[in-house]
Amino acid sequence: MTRIRLGVNIDHVATVREARGSAYPDPVRAALLAQAAGADGITAHLREDRRHISDGDIDRLSKELNIPLNLEMAATDEMHIIALNAKPHAACIVPEKREEITTEGGLDAARQHNHLSPIVRSLGAAGIRVSLFIEPDRSQLDAAVSLGAPVVELHTGAYANAEGAEQQRILKRLRDGAAYGASLGLEIHAGHGLTYDNVAPIAAIPEIRELNIGHFLIGEAIFIGLENSIRRMRTLIDDSRASGSGAP
Ligand code: PXP
């Protein structure tokens, strides 16, 4: 099976900085450390309320990284212009509500077709690889194709929050969605809420090419350091991929 790329989301380094309004800790420094530890890409979400990552962070990430930057963004005029200026390798379009603690579900690409279509087209024309963060439903995957997005990121948040039979049911939806999406020619990514304990079954889904992981890795870095937390995640992903079983 192909090796999965690991995108490290550094938003929550900026969350700690913003908790005090200080200049540290610097998320760009974390991104460079993640790059040195073998991350295949860096993900950052510039939220409308700038609660963690700032415009200046995106500027510096664009200039200083040697690995691809994946900008997570809401489909707004403001973010559209910022993305066109920053020209990240990829832009992942996510739903965004001001009052949410984190991204709470996938984008409704099927219902928002007319709103999303010009943004997806314009980012694509600027050479930015567009990804849509969606639930693993056929209607959403079909909508991604009709919008012309080359990539989808399947939302794993509900899987991460569930347990037992419910988690297995959601895992099956993710497996079926990944297979269906790949059969349509979409590149399949996944992310949200992934940890050492729940990553293996997701990494074993053969169609998945990239995982984006942040909150857990940054939290774990408090105890073992960022490089170690990334390296351990990398090993768990590679081991699961090699065995193909996804057994934890
Ligand atoms: N992928 C997307 C689209 C996200 O919005 C997020 C959270 O910002 C992640 C991945 C990473 O999720 P987590 O921080 O829970 O690992």
What are the pLDDT digits (tens) for 187-198?
999 999 999 999
Q: What is the structure's pLDDT at 98? A: 60
Active site residue 163: no
Residue 245 clears pLDDT 80, i.e. is over it: no
Tens digits of residue pLDDT in 108-147: 999 999 999 999 999 999 999 999 999 999 999 999 999 9
Taking the CA of residue 12 as reference, the ligand 1 atom at the shortest distance is 14
| Residue 110 counted as domain residue | yes
Q: What is the structure's pLDDT at 171? A: 98
| Residue 236 counted as domain residue | yes
Residue 74 clears pLDDT 80, i.e. is over it: yes
pTM attached to this predicted model: 0.96
Active-site annotation holder among 45, 52, 155, 189 = 45
Residue 38 clears pLDDT 90, i.e. is over it: yes
Active-site annotation holder among 12, 52, 155, 192 = 192
Confidence of residue 96 (pLDDT cuts 50, 70, 90): confident
* Higher-confidence position of 105 and 33: 33
Active site residue 72: yes
Tokens representing residue 64 in the block: 């200083």
Q: What is the structure's pLDDT at 97? A: 73
Active site residue 89: no
Residues 93, 120: contact at Cβ < 8 Å? Answer: yes
| Residue 248 counted as domain residue | no
What is the tally of structural domains in the chain?
1
CATH of the domain at 109: 3.20.20.70
Q: Tell which residue, 6, 144, 126, has the closest CA to residue 68.
A: 6
Residues 210, 220: contact at Cβ < 8 Å? Answer: no
Tens digits of residue pLDDT in 167-189: 999 999 999 999 999 999 999 99
Q: What distance in angstroms lies between residue 148's CA and the mean position of ligand 1's atoms?
A: 23
What CA–CA distance (Å, rounded) separates 173 from 139? 13
Q: What percent of the chain has pLDDT over 70?
A: 96
Residue 99 clears pLDDT 70, i.e. is over it: no
Q: What distance in angstroms lies between residue 10's CA and the mean position of ligand 1's atoms?
A: 10
Tens digits of residue pLDDT in 45-73: 999 999 999 999 999 999 999 999 999 99
| Residue 68 counted as domain residue | yes
Q: Tell which residue, 117, 94, 4, 115, has the closest CA to residue 44.
A: 94
Average pLDDT value over all residues in the chain: 95
- Please state whether beta strands 129-134 and 151-155 pair in parallel, antiparallel, or not at all (unpaired): parallel
Domain encompassing residue 193: 5-243
Kind and range of the H or E element at 157? helix 157-161
As a three-state string, the secondary structure of 66-113 is CCCEEEEECCCHHHHHHHHHHCCCEEEECCCCCCCCCCCCCCCCCCCH
Q: What is the structure's pLDDT at 246? A: 58
Taking the CA of residue 153 as reference, the ligand 1 atom at the shortest distance is 3
